[in-house]
């Protein structure tokens, strides 16, 4: 689904699930979120099984969503990156000094 699909779906759904890897990245995700809000829909930011590097973008969009499910990197045997800290399941954007907050795992 893209932002252009939201108006057609608006009469049939209550929530739009936004996955950055499926919609094309942060900017398309933001457009999808804004379209959902314009149609009175709630938003869920989700992910697939992917590294913390991919999930970081969703963390930065999380304040715009009613629901957030960004735990896909926990399903990896090894994640080559560390991302936005999530102590006790809470996204800590204040800990990000610059950029998305992603760094190689040590």
| pLDDT score at 46 | 97
Could you say which residues of the chain have pLDDT below 70?
A: none
CATH architecture, domain 3-104: Alpha-Beta Barrel (3.20)
What is the DSSP annotation of 6-20?
HHHHTTT-SEEEEEH
CA distance 1 to 14: 15
| pLDDT score at 106 | 84
CA distance 50 to 13: 26
Number of helices (H), then strands (E), in the chain: 4, 5
| pLDDT score at 1 | 78
């Amino acid at each position: 689904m893209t932002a252009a699909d939201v108006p057609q779906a608006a009469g049939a759904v209550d929530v739009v699930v936004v996955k950055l890897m499926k919609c094309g990245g942060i900017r398309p995700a933001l457009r999808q979120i804004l379209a959902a809000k314009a149609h009175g829909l709630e938003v869920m930011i989700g992910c697939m099984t992917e590294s913390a590097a991919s999930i970081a973008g969703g963390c930065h969009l999380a304040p715009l969503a009613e629901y957030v499910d960004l735990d896909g990197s926990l399903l990896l045997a090894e994640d080559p990156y560390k991302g936005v800290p999530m102590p006790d399941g809470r996204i800590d954007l204040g800990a990000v000094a610059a950029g998305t907050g992603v760094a190689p795992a040590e």
